[in-house]
Structures are given as structure tokens and as C-alpha cells.
Structure 1
Amino acid sequence: MLPSHSNFGGKVHGGYILNLMDQIAFACASKHSQRYCVTASVNRVDFLNPIEVGELVTLKASINYTGRTSMVVGVRVESENITTGETKHCNSSYFTMVAKDDSGKSIAIPGLVIKDKQGMRRFARSKERKLSAYDRDSKYQSQRFKVDDYIAYLEGENLKMDLD
């Protein structure tokens, strides 16, 4: 990582790392689908350890789940101090990528071939994450949301309720 990649704190800027992660997710998804792919969503980005200027950064990507037109690409970022050899897991994230045809419409992709326990674990976890996101999103739709159901739930939080 170069000084031009750093933030005001002297560490590599998280936005730069996210850009690299998106590029590797695109490459992985495009290779699997043999199509141009776009990013539909990014699920949970936790910055676990900072990356220092001068460290070598490695990004690893795998297809963890395949739907009809989309895939979940797991991306792991590690950094290595080139003088000591010490490596750190810096962050992991999950990118949902969608394959597109020449006119920009979503197109069917090949399914995933699972060859080991790790692949099955990743697929099952991604399916669970997808179902949880759907349940969470539908639970909080404005037409379904009932304020009275959440007043006690939000007590003790750092907020003031001034409801009409």
C-alpha cells in the first residue's frame, strides 16, 4: 500500500480497500458466470485490523452461493508486513453480484459445485444470511411497522421519543 492510499490517520483508507474488494468480487463473479456482473449489495463490512502504508495486501475471493442470476462472493483481506512476515486478517465481506446479458438484463448463471465441507458451510451460511435479510427487511416495512410494538424494545437506548 502506498502513501496515496492513506487516510488522515496514516492508515490505508477503508474506501480504497472497499474499492479493491469490489473489483475482486467482480472478477470472481464474472469468471464463474462468464458474464459481465454488477454489484447488487454488500453485506456487513467489519474493519478488524488497520492496514499500514507499506504492507502487502492480499485479497481472496470465492463464490459462496449461487441463485438463479446472482451469486454471493466472499472476500477476505489480509495484510503482511514485508519486513517481519507478520500477517493480519483485516476484513471480510460478502458481495452479491448479478450477471447481466449484453442488453443489461439479469441472466441465469451456472450453479455452484460444492466439493468439500467448507463449501457446504459457506453455501448454507449465505443462504441463511439471505433469508435473514429478507425477514428483517419485510418486518420493518412502513405499512407493517407498529410503533407500540417497539416502545419497550427501544427503552434505555440513546434517544428521546417525541411521538405525535
Structure 2
Amino acid sequence: MNESVYRSVNYSKTLITELMIPSYANFGGKIHGGTILSLMDKVAYACSAKHAGGYCVTASMNVVDFLAPVEVGDLVHLHASVNHVGTSSVTVGIRVEAESIITGEIRHTNSSYFTMVRLDATSKKAIPVPGLTLETREDMRRFLEAMKRKELVQEYKANFKNTVDSLDLDHIEELLKDQNCQIQGA
């Protein structure tokens, strides 16, 4: 990819709307979380592939909190936009909203960030993506937030590894005594 290529956030903004049908429901009668996650992955792909100009794969997704249930018969709107780009990665912000066709009420049900990586079609190796043109203060804010999230994830991974590596396993029973678990046959 020519390094002087830049694309705006608006260039690849993507909206997918899907009707929630009975076969998407879980045993509780609400739309299965896996259905929502699959739709989020689909919109992340569409948005990132458009920005990148080629095939992208999901590298990671940030925490997905289910804020409100989605009902059979709702329209689910998935809004996606590129928040950040690296050398070969695209961070896509996704907002999921459920709309009741009957009442017109719109509920924010989920938000997440997917990191997608552009791959060469032949070698399947990561290749560069276009840069991102930031046109508004909101674009800049989202770009900076994505940078901070990436930094915090790297920090968390390093801290977690250090914490686990430093556990005194000779005293494991003491570490677990106030937890909701039992030790059997250890």
C-alpha cells in the first residue's frame, strides 16, 4: 500500500441493520449474545475491509458488556467506524442499538472495539493499511482513546504475567481460602 494514502473516518463508516427473528433467541426468549457478537464481527469486517481496501481478519475484540436485552422482532442497528489505524491494523468502534418496531424505542445494547488486521490474499501475511484522516475533534478524541486502550492492554498483560509468575504456589490454599471454590485431590 502506498504510504501516502489516507482515508477519512466517513469513508468507511458502516451501518448494518438486521431483523431479530425467533431462531436467534436463546432459552430465555432474548436474542442470543452469540448472534449479536457474530453481527458485530461482520460489521467490523465490512468497515475495516473498506478502509484497508482488502481482506481483514479479527485479531481481537475489546470487552463486550451486554447493557440491555434484544427482543425478537427488534431491528438491530450496528454502527461501525474506524477509530484508529496502525501499520497493518484497523481499530473499529461499534455501537449496537436495538429498535422496537412497535414503540420506536431505541436502546443502546452494546459497544466494543474490534482490532482487525489486513492480510495479503496470497501470502496471508499482514500488510500495511492506509492512514486515517482525522477531520473532527471527535475523530481525534477516538483516535487518542484507541491509543490509550492499546497502551492499557499492553500494561495489563505485562502486569498480569508478572503477578502470576510471582505467586507463591506453596501457599495456594491460603490464596484461595476466601474464594468460591474447593480444592480436591491437589
When normalised by structure 2's length, the TM-score is 0.79
Q: 1:105 aligns with which of 125, 136, 147?
A: 125
Structure 1 Cα separation of the partners of residues 132 and 109 of structure 2: 27
SS of 1:76's partner is strand
Could you give the per-residue CA deviations for residues 101-149 of structure 1, whole angstroms, max 9, x where no partner exists? 122110000111111111111111111110111111122226973126x
The structure with higher relative contact order (CA 8 Å, sep 6+) is 2
Q: Point out 4+ residue stretches in structure 1 off by more than 2 angstroms.
A: 140-145, 153-161
Structure 2 Cα separation of the partners of residues 117 and 51 of structure 1: 32
Structure 1 Cα separation of the partners of residues 69 and 109 of structure 2: 6
Q: Does 1:51 align with 2:99?
A: no
Matched-pair identity in %: 50
Q: Which residue of 1 aligns with 2:54?
A: 35
Q: Which residue of 2 aligns with 1:21?
A: 40
Q: Which residue of 2 aligns with 1:6?
A: 25
Gaps in structure 2 of 5+ consecutive residues: 1-19
Distance 1:154 1:136, change over 3 A: farther
Q: Does 1:146 align with 2:166?
A: yes
Conserved 8 A contact 1:72-1:97 = yes
Structure 2 Cα separation of the partners of residues 123 and 154 of structure 1: 40
Gaps in structure 1 of 5+ consecutive residues: none
**Cα distance, 1:157 vs structure 2:** 5.3
Q: Which residue of 2 aligns with 1:122?
A: 142
Structure 1 Cα separation of the partners of residues 45 and 95 of structure 2: 14
Distance 1:75 1:9, change over 3 A: same
Distance 1:146 1:114, change over 3 A: same
Q: Which residue of 1 aligns with 2:154?
A: 134
Structure 2 Cα separation of the partners of residues 155 and 63 of structure 1: 45
| Number of equivalenced pairs | 161
For the aligned residues, what is the CA RMSD? 2.4
When normalised by structure 1's length, the TM-score is 0.89
SS of 1:107's partner is coil
Could you give the per-residue CA deviations for residues 30-72 of structure 1, whole angstroms, max 9, x where no partner exists? 0000010000001100000000000111100000110000011
**Cα distance, 1:159 vs structure 2:** 5.8
Q: Does 1:70 align with 2:51?
A: no
